[in-house]
Amino acid sequence: MAISKQLIEYFCNLKFKGKINELKTVIDMGDQDISGDVNYFKEVFKKYNIKFNAEEYEAAKKYLQRTRVSSSTFWKTLNFNVTHRLDIAALPRDNKNEDLNFLKVDLNFPIEQQIKLNKHDLVTDFGNNG
C-alpha cells in the first residue's frame, strides 16, 4: 500500500496550519510507501512552506517502480522524531537507514509478545488491516 497524494496534501495542510506540530512519534500499520515523483514533492512542499531534503526523495525518481520512498521519510519531513513502520515483511529500500524504522511483526499474534513497543502520538493504517 502507499499513502496517496490526497493524504500527503492533507497532512501537509495540517502541518501548515500547526495542527500536528506537537506530535513527535508516529507508527504506520504496514510498511508504507508514499505516492508521487520528485517534482510532485517539490511542488507540494513548496505549496505548504515545508522544508525538505530533496536527496531523501531520490527514490521518488523511480515512482511506480520499486524501490520507493518510505512513509518514514515523509513523517520526518513533517518533523516527527520517531517514525516506525510495522509489517510482516519490509519493502526493499535504496536507503538502508530506513530499516531502522521498520518493526517486523505478524498481526496474527499479539504485538506485545513480538516486540517492545512504546506509545505513539499518531497511529496510521492506510490499508494494512483492511
Residue 71 lies in a domain: yes
Residue 107 lies in a domain: yes
pLDDT (tens digit per residue) in 18-34: 999 999 999 999 888 89
| pLDDT one-digit tens code per residue, 47-90 | 999 999 988 888 887 766 765 788 999 999 999 999 999 999 88
Answer yes or no: is 41 within a domain.
Answer: yes
- DSSP codes of every residue in 105-120: --TTS-GGGT------
Hey, what's the cell of 61?
525518481
Burial (CB < 10 A; 0-12, 13-18, 19+), residue 95, is middle
Domain encompassing residue 48? 2-124
- Against a cut of 0.85, is the pTM above it? yes
Is residue 130 one of the residues assigned to a domain? no
